[in-house]
Amino acid sequence: MRKFSLFAPLTLAACVAAPVGLAAGGYGLTWSKLSHETSYSTDKVTCAGCNAYTGDTACTTVLPVLCIKNDSSPNPGLVIDYYNGWAGGHIYQTPAVAGTTLTSLSAADALCASSFGSGYRMAEFHDGAGGWGWSAYGNIAGTSRFWVYINDQNANCWNP
Convert 78-112 into a string of H (helix), E (strand) and C (coil).
CCCECCEEEEEEEEEECCCEEHHHCCCHHHHHHHH
pTM here? 0.85
> What percent of the chain is modeled with pLDDT above 90?
84
Q: What is the mean pLDDT of the chain?
A: 88
The full set of domain ranges for the chain reads 19-147
3-state helix, strand, coil in the chain (%, to 5): 15, 30, 55
Distance separating alpha carbons of residues 84 and 139, to the nearest angstrom? 17
Checking if the pLDDT of 87 tops 80, the result is: yes
Q: Where are the alpha helices (DSSP H) in the chain?
A: 12-15, 105-116
Residue 115, classed as helix, strand or coil, is helix
Per-residue pLDDT of 119-131, as tens digits, reads: 999 999 999 999 9
